[in-house]
Chains A and B, each alone.
Chain A
């Protein structure tokens, strides 16, 4: 094979690989993603990533379950959450949280270990994970 043909072949191979990768990325990410939503936006029937603030005084331990309410960051709509799994260290009243799950009979049933609590203060670095 002469050099220019070799180069064309390599180019085609590289482009094909790139296109394949791009397709894999786009297809898998859009199908596997969860939508980030506020309590006022969620509807039953599909999974969401619920974001909002923990309502003060709403935290209860019910056996293995943790129950609390999440409200819109800038509103009053709140939804009760039922969660099992690891509870991040910064979790407490008023903190911003992200939890994945589905709305079932009015209660947001969370996926195990999906609770993430955001750092509380402006200048302290914080890391916590689910």
Chain B
């Protein structure tokens, strides 16, 4: 079966190259049949990739260890869900996922635009084919997912236990969908430049793809943060690690792009800016994919060795050179059609928001690549840590939130200055009220940046509510509808705008969570014996008893041995129980004894969190199994060749020993306010994006009618 997969990849590469050749030839000679053939080639590439993906996935599900990839990343006892998702936990498999998603997206957009954008689509096809060809070449030449082993092992190595978490397995497909999604507007932007059609047509056709990509990328980032918070033993959700930053940078620039294309659609301005932005977004998406695989930065997330690092750099260099060259050569065509009428218009503030977002991206880029920069400039590799990022990002983030509140309030083209007071009165009053309440009833003043952020969040939420209220009222004066109907009609007819407002509200809520949970967190690290208790943030925590479990654990990860604790937490009459633990997996290392092997594989922290709307209580444990070292070594000597059943009995005995007389264990307890609102805010953002992306009923009707008229025209001409 592996041969079929390999063949699919090879044919796909040839087909992608054909797509480039046919589309370019068809575009230059004007012979439409070659363009159609080129487009179909992309459909074929998608089909071939799907087949290859299916072959690999079935190998994982069947635990076919003749596939080298399956032997590395899966094992017989891996639960089915993780067997399926282990495919993209590996370097090769993730490349296959990337190109499969790319070809599917390309097929979709090319199918939807098969009758429109005649000048641009062929070039876009060529670009998409080129990107696909690169990834296919990478796989065939260096990282083939269909490599086979001459003698397949009896069992595989298994999935790294740290990855056995649902969020971590959905995280890569989400991110890749985001990265891949941005390749569509990029391809059409290049096409528009080559075909000398710099108008807003390419934007209108690909706007939804950009929005969908942005949403998936954001969701992927949020899932990564959630995984970090609930699965790792440090209790944080963002560490400014190079790989986290690598996914955030394209998202920031993508956000800027989504805003500035609106300006081009409405006013014909910012053409150069837009094409540059989308080229930058796509380049950053490639860079993000590259950073994870290259090992050039000291990140703990690196996939590992730079077997394909150089190739990525070359490709990224090509993309940058091509984009820059095209933009410069078409500069005269990209002149603005209009001028900025007023500084108090939406256009002006979108430009400002773009500058802030790009500024944020540059700051993060500087900090991420600083080791390389400092090495180039001073000869020593120096790095900057989270405090530096926090210090520089916070003021920019505050300005950004302020802008998300002002944007919705303004109008396009111009705004009557006298009216400014009228629209801002209520939001400013609400902000002032929030400030007063916070100062009077909370100790929010301890962190003035958080206090400022809270006030700005109040500002944004008030603005959004006011826009909905006033919009509905205005519509009622014009049409006389009832309140609910007017609201429904208002938002239904302008999904883009009101979906956008909802996204702004979600972002504000997200920043509320971030500000509160970072500034007002209470953390304690202690060592306890059973019966001991300690206090954190008014919570009384008592270590009730130790736990030691074998086999199946609640996380569903197939963990063999789990040591933990049961803790009672009490405050103000409230009482809940937490059960953090640590899972110990086995290793196949032959240098260790039979029993030692069961304890010396990877170990993961199984955190227990009590979620709450106002406050989260998070606990992790690091038990000390050093006291079991001697009995384990004795068991190694005595039971070197024991069967699996006997091993289980021995481990059970060791577990019982731990339970009866546990040494002190290290605990970390974190009480942080409003953490859950980070992800609730993220959910609101996704909802808003859905509303904004949803096709309006008029558009659907128009599409149907145009399809009929096209068909009629074709049939008439054939007669």
- Tell me if chains A and B make direct contact, with any CB pair below 8 A: yes
A33 to B366, CA, bound (A): 12
Instruction: Kindly specify which of A75-83, A102-110, A116-124 makes contact with the partner chain.
Output: A116-124
Give the residue of B90, B232, B392, B605 whose beta carbon is less than 8 angstroms from that of A25.
B392
Q: Mark A25-44, 1 if CB is under 8 A from B, else 0.
A: 10011101111110000000
Query: Is B484 close to A, CB under 8 A?
Result: no
Query: Is B89 close to A, CB under 8 A?
Result: yes
Closest to B143 in A: A123
A84 to B366, CA, bound (A): 30
A35 to B298, CA, bound (A): 12
Question: Tally of A-B residue pairs with Cβ under 8 A?
Answer: 136
Q: Taking A64-B527, A122-B304 as contacts, is the C-beta distance between A33 and B160 under 8 angstroms? A: no
Residue numbers in B under 8 Å from A130 (CB-CB): 234, 239
Count chain A CB atoms within 10 A of each CB in B371, B382, B392 and give the residue with the most: B382
Residue numbers in A under 8 Å from B381 (CB-CB): 35-36
Give the distance to chain B from A4, nearest Cβ to Cβ, in Å: 11
Instruction: Check B160–A126 contact: CB distance below 8 A.
Output: yes
A112 to B603, CA, bound (A): 21
Residue numbers in B under 8 Å from A35 (CB-CB): 380-382
Query: Is B228 close to A, CB under 8 A?
Result: yes
Instruction: Check B303–A125 contact: CB distance below 8 A.
Output: yes
Instruction: Check A129–B384 contact: CB distance below 8 A.
Output: no
A113 to B524, CA, bound (A): 12
Count chain B CB atoms within 10 A of each CB in A33, A49, A64, A116 and give the residue with the most: A33
Instruction: Kindly specify which of B99-107, B355-363, B543-551 makes contact with the partner chain.
Output: B355-363
A81 to B163, CA, bound (A): 29
Chain B at the A interface: mostly helix, strand, loop or mixed?
Answer: mixed
Query: Is B622 close to A, CB under 8 A?
Result: yes
Residue numbers in A under 8 Å from B622 (CB-CB): 87
Give the residue of B90, B233, B525, B624 whose beta carbon is less than 8 angstroms from that of A123.
B90
Q: Mark B49-91, 1 if CB is under 8 A from A, else 0.
A: 0000000000000000000000011000000000000000111
A35 to B385, CA, bound (A): 11
Give the distance to chain B from A113, nearest Cβ to Cβ, in Å: 7
Q: Mark B237-261, 1 if CB is under 8 A from A, else 0.
A: 0010101000000000000000000
Give the bracket for the number of chain A residues in contact with chain B.
35 or more
Q: Taking A49-B383, A51-B298, A128-B232 as contacts, is the C-beta distance between A123 and B72 under 8 angstroms? A: yes
Closest to B89 in A: A125
Instruction: Check A61–B626 contact: CB distance below 8 A.
Output: yes
Residue numbers in B under 8 Å from A29 (CB-CB): 366-367, 370, 384, 388
A130 to B239, CA, bound (A): 8
Instruction: Check A89–B384 contact: CB distance below 8 A.
Output: no
Instruction: Check B383–A36 contact: CB distance below 8 A.
Output: yes
Residue numbers in B under 8 Å from A63 (CB-CB): 527
Residue numbers in B under 8 Å from A88 (CB-CB): 232-234, 300
A81 to B445, CA, bound (A): 39
Q: Taking A89-B232, A98-B298 as contacts, is the C-beta distance between A36 and B305 under 8 angstroms? A: no
Instruction: Check B303–A123 contact: CB distance below 8 A.
Output: yes
Q: Taking A28-B388, A128-B232 as contacts, is the C-beta distance between A21 and B383 under 8 angstroms? A: no
Closest to A85 in B: B525
Give the residue of B233, B241, B382 whose beta carbon is less than 8 angstroms from that of A34.
B382
A89 to B161, CA, bound (A): 10
Query: Is A12 close to B, CB under 8 A?
Result: no
Q: Which residues of A contact B (CB under 8 A)?
A: 3, 14, 17, 21, 24-25, 28-30, 32-37, 49, 51, 61, 63-64, 84-90, 92, 98, 100, 113, 116-119, 121-130
